[in-house]
Amino acid sequence: MSTKKAVILLSGGLDSATVVALAKADGYSCYTMSFDYGQRHCSELYAAEQVARQLGVVEHKVIGLNLNGMGGSALTDASIDVPESPSEGIPVTYVPARNTVFLSLALGWAEVLGARDIFIGVNAVDYSGYPDCRPEFIEAFERMANLATKAGVEGQGFRIQAPLQNMSKAEIVQVGMRLGVDYALTVSCYQADEQGRACGKCDSCRLRAVGFSVAGVDDPTRYF
């Protein structure tokens, strides 16, 4: 086992699965973290477990949160519909402070494990316009991480790695196929059913479908 450890945020979707494969290919011992945060469906959590198993991570951890207690997003508040057509500005599927919360918990686990690298599958090319997917956010969080931790203060700094940041969805698919990711295990849909079948209408479904199409790869997504 490699002594180079990484904590990787794994949602069960296409992007995060690809990030796990990239980290593994780069020689990291991979520790993956998912969140049961009150999202619309839990099929993505099952997908994350399957992906973690397929890619041979050292440990997969699921953390329970209650972001639906705050609401404010179509993904955590059942009274807000998931849009099925593109919208202007930041969409209602944005979950307030989600990546900030997730990265903070990953940072804590990384410090416990002695890992110095945290991977996240954010993308600023083919994405929904979320503010916490931008390079500026990743850079700012890394600075904060090295100010706010014992390891950082003692000079054992953390790196927040976002290897998909400037890649198109098609490029992400091509990289994952080359690294052996089984995309049939992944769930990207914002409103998938209990079997992990996708709606084919939400923003995430559209971006995924276009990515596979442009990449020239058959999309294994199952639809309801």
Q: Show me where the domains of the chain are located.
A: 5-215
Residue 14 · residue 217 · CB < 8 Å:
no
pLDDT at 3: 79
**Helix boundaries (H) for the chain:** 14-25, 43-55, 98-113, 135-148, 150-153, 169-178, 203-215
Return d(Cα 192, Cα 223) in angstroms, integer. 8
pLDDT at 194: 92
Phi, psi of 60 (to 5 degrees): -120, 125
**Nearest partner of 208 among 184, 98, 200, judged by Cα:** 200
| Structure tokens belonging to residue 148 | 């706010």
pLDDT at 1: 61
Cross-strand pairs, 117: 6, 159
| pLDDT, average across residues 190-200 | 95
95-125 pLDDT, tens digit per residue, is 999 999 999 999 999 999 999 999 999 998 7
- Among residues of the chain, what percentage have pLDDT more than 70? 98
Residue 8 · residue 122 · CB < 8 Å:
no
pLDDT at 177: 98
9-28 pLDDT, tens digit per residue, is 999 999 999 999 999 999 99
Among all chains, which residue has been given the structure tokens 């959590």?
45
- pLDDT of residue 2 exceeding 70: no
* Class of the domain covering 5-215: alpha beta
Q: 127: buried, middle or exposed (CB in 10 Å: 19+, 13-18, 0-12)?
A: middle
What pTM was estimated for this model as a whole?
0.95
pLDDT at 85: 81
139-176 pLDDT, tens digit per residue, is 999 999 999 999 999 988 999 999 999 999 999 999 99
Who's near 102: CB < 8 A, 6+ residues apart?
A: 9, 33, 35, 120
Return d(Cα 23, Cα 25) in angstroms, integer. 5
pLDDT at 124: 83
- pLDDT of residue 84 exceeding 90: no
Return d(Cα 10, Cα 81) in angstroms, integer. 25
49-79 pLDDT, tens digit per residue, is 999 999 999 999 999 999 989 999 999 999 9
Average pLDDT, the chain: 94
- State how far Cα 199 lies from the chain centre: 19
| pLDDT, average across residues 191-218 | 95
pLDDT at 137: 95
Residue 119 · residue 7 · CB < 8 Å:
yes
**Helix boundaries (H) for 72-188:** 98-113, 135-148, 150-153, 169-178
pLDDT at 145: 97
3-state secondary structure of 99: helix
